[in-house]
Amino acid sequence: MTQTLPSPEVLARRFLLYMKAERGISRHTARAYTQDLKEFTAFLDKGPSPDLSNFRKARLLVREFWASLSQRGVATSTLNRKLAALRSFFKYLVLEDLIDANPFAYLKTPKPERRLPRFLTEGEMEKFLGSIAGDPGFISSRDKALFETLYTSGLRIHEALGLNIDDADLWNGMARVFGKGGRERMAPLGKTAVKALESYLDERKKRFGRAPEKALFVNFRGGRLTPRGASKALKSRARKSPLTKDMAPHAFRHSFATHLLNAGADLRTVQEMLGHRSLASTQIYAHTSIEGLKKVYAGAHPRG
């Protein structure tokens, strides 16, 4: 292929427009791809003008970028996400007839680390959520509603923050969620979450009136709450709580799955509630369900 390619920055912008318009990627994925491609193009800028149309040269550049990430100590899961973004980027270039072959064709990415997810015990979760219960005001009611929603529904943080008011059916205790790949599912809202949401919406109305913002969870200015804003609120609440553990938004999802399995919930049912395509993604929570394992052992083993 002899054509002269646009700069990597231009190609990256075209790729992102394609992924948003034709593949319908979520805002969360779009942000991750944007950051990963910026990092890659910045790496390319450090050397001579890259020739991405040359298969061997492109493959060498990918390997060098990969090596630079590894030398920085980037976690395997993060490394795989960045490489997946690049694989999709080069696949797009092949699709558009801009290059002949994907340099990832013969590259094997590292196997992901199988770390057990961090979660809170039921007692720890009660203490944490209870520490917010008595605080008055809009921000406190929003935080309580958000954390109760995350824990009783098992939503990913970007799924919860992507909810609009019309997506939450408080009467039936359900929420319509758009997960990875734009897949729609219904998620449960526990009684405590419904109660917290009702209180929050009352406080929100007092503060903003009937604001046009359709987002369910908003910041103090009335705009949609961002993942960064939610993480900041969680860290602040965790510092004020009786807990000594560090907390991240995903801890609610991990706790949701672990507590359900501890109580004897069916793995397939938990898979559906979490929105996992593969049962293997849900099975990792079975390893953290220590109480469930102990109950099965005590009831089944002759010396249990």
Residue-by-residue DSSP string for 205-254: HHHHSS-S--BSSB-TTSSBPPHHHHHHHHHHHHHHSS--S---THHHHH
Tell whether 29 and 131 lie within a shared domain.
Answer: no
Q: Is 285 a catalytic residue?
A: yes
Q: Say which of 59, 87, 142, 156 is annotated catalytic.
A: 156
Query: Is the residue at 261 inside a domain?
Result: yes
Query: Is the residue at 164 inside a domain?
Result: yes
The Cα–Cα gap between 132 and 119 comes to: 19
Tell whether 144 and 69 lie within a shared domain.
Answer: no
What string of pLDDT tens digits covers the 304 residues of the chain?
445 778 888 998 999 998 888 888 888 888 899 999 999 989 988 877 777 888 888 888 888 988 898 888 888 888 888 888 999 999 999 998 888 888 887 777 766 666 656 788 889 999 999 888 766 789 999 999 999 999 999 998 999 999 999 999 999 999 998 877 677 889 999 999 999 999 999 999 999 887 667 999 999 999 999 999 999 999 999 888 888 677 888 889 888 888 888 888 877 888 888 877 777 666 666 665 555 556 655 665 455 5
Cα distances (Å, whole numbers) of residue 81 to 15, 29, 59, 76: 16, 10, 18, 9
What's the pLDDT score for residue 258? 87
Q: Say which of 237, 253, 254, 259 is annotated catalytic.
A: 253
Query: Is the residue at 115 inside a domain?
Result: no
Q: Is 235 a catalytic residue?
A: no
What's the pLDDT score for residue 299? 62
- What is the residue range of 264's domain? 122-299
Q: Is 301 a catalytic residue?
A: no
- Residue 69: CATH number of its domain: 1.10.150.130
What's the pLDDT score for residue 53? 81
Tell whether 65 and 132 lie within a shared domain.
Answer: no
Q: Is 276 a catalytic residue?
A: yes
What's the structural domain count of the chain? 2
- Quote the crossing angle between the two packed helices 227-240 and 138-153, to the nearest 10°: 100
Q: Say which of 81, 180, 195, 224 is annotated catalytic.
A: 180
Tell whether 133 and 89 lie within a shared domain.
Answer: no
Query: Is the residue at 116 inside a domain?
Result: no
The Cα–Cα gap between 9 and 53 comes to: 15
Amino acid identity at 202:
D
Tell whether 197 and 238 lie within a shared domain.
Answer: yes
- Quote the crossing angle between the two packed helices 267-274 and 250-262, to the nearest 10°: 160
Tell whether 72 and 197 lie within a shared domain.
Answer: no
Q: Which of 49, 78, 95 is the last residue of a domain?
A: 95
Query: Is the residue at 114 inside a domain?
Result: no
What's the pLDDT score for residue 170? 95
Tell whether 81 and 141 lie within a shared domain.
Answer: no
Kindly state the tokens that stand for 149. 């929603």
Q: Is 259 a catalytic residue?
A: no
Tell whether 288 and 181 lie within a shared domain.
Answer: yes
What's the pLDDT score for residue 298? 63
Query: Is the residue at 19 inside a domain?
Result: yes
What's the pLDDT score for residue 294? 61
- Residue 199: CATH number of its domain: 1.10.443.10
Tell whether 291 and 163 lie within a shared domain.
Answer: yes
The Cα–Cα gap between 229 and 46 comes to: 33
Q: Say which of 87, 254, 259, 276 is annotated catalytic.
A: 276
